[in-house]
Amino acid sequence: IQSQLDQGEPFADVARKFSEDPGSASAGGDLGCFSSGTMIPEFERAAIALVPGQVSDPLLTTFGYHLIQLHEKREGELCASHILLRIQSTGDDRERALTTLRDLRERAVGGQDFAQLAREHSEDPGSARQGGLWQGLERDNLPPIVEPHIRHLGLGGVSDPFVLETGGHILKINDDYSTLESLVREELVDVRMEEVIGDYRKLIHVEVRLDDEWLWDPVTQSSPSETLAPVQDGG
């Protein structure tokens, strides 16, 4: 990936091909602009050390390996994109993920705010700050692997947890915009989201990953419970 960037391939094109962050990959890795203290410390330190247009060396965090491109420095804000390659997890991790998802589903069905659960548990570095908003899927033509889990749901319904190659999921149909929201436990397998989701015709929301210490190899200084970016209420 680094060599392709060194040869002049646009960062956004490389991110679309290789990034394993479902919240930002389809947008060319664009994370938008974020204020100081929004990202985990090591990510923010690496970004602030760059000059606009510069790409960082590979950075290891609890989310995996990042390449960061800085677009702009504003007063109190940085605007950046990233490419994320994740770390694989095990079958035991998957079971723990499903246990966590079952608990979160019960809390959501019991009346807790879905967006608040996302704020508390999201690990999605691309969409977490936006309330888990994940743009790029379309409502009328969902991937066949997803559609069976939601076809029986009415507006506001929350699916049972299920596991795909991309991770364990809970899906919610948002009755405000008839959009799909998802709480996601990443398994961190080496797959390309672009191959799974394809091109669809109506916009839906959201893939949100959950934060849990088992998910990561403790190779960084940051706490496993930290999220790369706290989410905002996305509706």
Q: Total structural domains in the chain?
A: 2
**Quick one: 115 and 74 in the same domain?**
no
DSSP 108-121: HHTT--HHHHHHHH
Burial of 90 (0-12, 13-18, 19+ CB in 10 A): exposed
The answer to whether residue 221 is domain-embedded is: no
Counting residues of the chain whose pLDDT is more than 70, the rounded percentage is 54
Cβ atoms 89, 185 nearer than 8 A: no
Half-sphere exposure of 113 (CA within 13 A, CB side): 10
Out of 26, 59, 85, pick the residue that ends a domain.
85
pLDDT, mean over the chain? 70
**Quick one: 76 and 137 in the same domain?**
no
Residue 113: name the closest of 102, 104, 122, 125 by CA. Answer: 104
Amino acid of residue 90: T
Global pTM value: 0.46
Residues 6 or more apart from 92 whose CB is under 8 A from it? none
Give the residue with greater pLDDT, 17 vs 203.
17
Residues in the chain: 235
Question: Taking 50 as the threshold, does the pLDDT of residue 26 lie above it?
Answer: yes
The domain in which residue 127 lies consists of 91-215
Give the residue with greater pLDDT, 210 vs 107.
107
Count the neighbouring beta carbons within 10 Å of the beta carbon of residue 121.
23
Give the range among 90-104, 138-152, 188-202 with minimum mean pLDDT.
188-202
Counting residues of the chain whose pLDDT is more than 90, the rounded percentage is 20
**Quick one: 14 and 49 in the same domain?**
yes
The answer to whether residue 193 is domain-embedded is: yes
For 47-61, write each residue's pLDDT tens digit: 999 999 999 999 988
The DSSP 8-state label assigned to residue 211 in this structure reads P
**Quick one: 173 and 103 in the same domain?**
yes
pLDDT at 80: 96
Question: Taking 70 as the threshold, does the pLDDT of residue 18 lie above it?
Answer: yes
The answer to whether residue 104 is domain-embedded is: yes
pLDDT at 39: 85
Residue 216: name the closest of 100, 87, 42, 65 by CA. Answer: 87
Reported confidence tier of residue 15, pLDDT bands at 50, 70, 90: very high
**Quick one: 72 and 160 in the same domain?**
no
For 181-200, write each residue's pLDDT tens digit: 444 444 333 344 444 444 43
The answer to whether residue 191 is domain-embedded is: yes
The DSSP 8-state label assigned to residue 133 in this structure reads -
Give the residue with greater pLDDT, 113 vs 219.
113
CATH number of the domain within which 105 lies? 3.10.50
Out of 42, 68, 85, pick the residue that ends a domain.
85
Q: What mean pLDDT comes out for the span 196-225?
A: 41
**Quick one: 169 and 100 in the same domain?**
yes
